[in-house]
Amino acid sequence: MKAVFFNEHGPIDVLHYGDVPEPERPPGWVKLKVSACALNFLDVFTRRGMPGIRIPLPGITGGDCVGEIVEADRDLGGWALGDRCVVNPAFIDDQSGHFEMMGETRAGALAEYCVCRASQLIRIPDPVSDTQAVAIPVAYATAYRMLVTRGNVRPGESVLVLGASGGVGTATVLLAKQLGAVITAAAGSQEKCERLIALGADAAYDYTAEAIDKYARRVTGSLFRGGGFDVVVNFTGGDSWAPSLRAVKRGGRLLTCGATAGHAPPTDIRFIFMAEMDIKGSTGFTAPEIEACLALIADGRLDPVIDRVLPLDQAIEGIRLLEERKVFGKVVIEPGNSR
């Protein structure tokens, strides 16, 4: 089958598009013909190699998968061959705590076929397209968990979103809007800011022109006089971490689910205790959180932001655009359209 794969960790040129053997299906698993796979920054981290995480080589990334069941055990528990489904890429064994992630510790869906446990399949409501559904698990369900399950964001709260133009970022803006929050979106260019306003952000600012803490002080006032945001969402980390602590209101929350620009930044403990803020980590998603996002799409209340749809033989170009921060929302790959 055709796939995008790497034989060693490294920069983007370790990626190849070509032929690899079709994955074997263990008992209890299904084989899917992949109709759509969405790209995530996780694909970049996995290809580069992450400390403490062993990736079987050749590596095939792609945690977000919509496909059609083409091979399965006889008893499929309510599913049938030919059914369309989206995969919950995260698997946790409740007994042992063993964790596997499709597109990371298990081969993913940047390929014509992939395999997963039957228990990882989720039904897609009829009105939801493959492109919409495939955007959901890693970006939207993560944002949902961070804002709703972990963050308890409430109507009228002010929410500052860093990295707002990416996959999780645009998901965070759309879902926070659904929750009735007042959103300020931060992005790395004026053009991205304009698109974020068009998406529904109440305000947007280019953080390359003004530091986060200075912006927060100018717009909301001094932290000692009630200034700051109720909620700051920061999955960028790196140099943005310490200034974003200075943008949280007294008693506010800082929500994080990632560290794109660096996971061990300098911090400033004074702002954590002085503001009595809660720093809440959030990771991954559950099947009900994926289903909640699918239901929002089916109800017409959510439409994931898709930057572009590419065939599999152009997936490496899609990954390059993601890595160079030239993407607004999600890039979706359709292996069915590949040559």
Ligand X SMILES: NC(=O)c1ccc[n+]([C@@H]2O[C@H](COP(=O)([O-])OP(=O)(O)OC[C@H]3O[C@@H](n4cnc5c(N)ncnc54)[C@H](OP(=O)(O)O)[C@@H]3O)[C@@H](O)[C@H]2O)c1
263, 270 contact by CB (below 8 A): no
Binding to ligand X by residue 138, rule CB under 6 A?
yes
If one counts every other C-beta atom within 10 angstroms of the C-beta of residue 49, the result is 15
Q: CB under 6 A: which stretch of 91-99, 243-251, 259-267, 301-309 binds ligand X?
A: 259-267
Helices 41-48 and 315-323: crossing angle, nearest 10°?
90
Binding to ligand X by residue 254, rule CB under 6 A?
no
Closest CA to 236 of 166, 306, 145: 166
Could you give phi then psi for residue 305, rounded to 5 degrees?
-85, 115
With CB under 6 A as the contact rule, the residue among 29, 41, 205, 241 that binds ligand X is 41
- Residues in region 73-102 near ligand X by CB under 6 A: none
Structure tokens that stand for 116 in this block? 């997963």
Binding to ligand X by residue 321, rule CB under 6 A?
no
Asked whether the bond before 58 is cis by omega within 30 degrees of 0, the reply is yes
Query: How would you class 28 by CB atoms within 10 Å of its CB: exposed for 0-12, middle for 13-18, buried for 19 or more?
Result: exposed
Residue type, 150: R
With CB under 6 A as the contact rule, the residue among 236, 244, 314, 338 that binds ligand X is 236
**C-alpha span between 200 and 222 (Å, rounded):** 27
With CB under 6 A as the contact rule, the residue among 5, 144, 235, 241 that binds ligand X is 235
- Name which of 232 and 275 has its Cβ closer to ligand X: 232
With CB under 6 A as the contact rule, the residue among 62, 108, 169, 318 that binds ligand X is 169
With CB under 6 A as the contact rule, the residue among 42, 128, 136, 255 that binds ligand X is 42
With CB under 6 A as the contact rule, the residue among 283, 299, 301, 303 that binds ligand X is 283
- Name which of 23 and 59 has its Cβ closer to ligand X: 59
Binding to ligand X by residue 148, rule CB under 6 A?
no
Binding to ligand X by residue 144, rule CB under 6 A?
no
Closest CA to 86 of 298, 321, 308: 298
Q: x-or-dash pattern for ligand X, window 182-221, by CB under 6 A?
A: -----xx---x-----------------------------
Binding to ligand X by residue 261, rule CB under 6 A?
yes
Binding to ligand X by residue 165, rule CB under 6 A?
yes
With CB under 6 A as the contact rule, the residue among 59, 103, 151, 166 that binds ligand X is 166
- Residues in region 3-22 near ligand X by CB under 6 A: none
Least Cβ distance, residue 326 to ligand X (angstroms): 9
- Name which of 67 and 329 has its Cβ closer to ligand X: 329
Structure tokens that stand for 310 in this block? 């590419």
- Name which of 59 and 166 has its Cβ closer to ligand X: 166
- Name which of 142 and 158 has its Cβ closer to ligand X: 142
Least Cβ distance, residue 328 to ligand X (angstroms): 8
Which residues contribute to the site for ligand X (CB under 6 A)? Answer: 40-42, 45, 138-139, 142, 163, 165-169, 187-188, 192, 235-236, 257-261, 283-284, 322, 325, 327
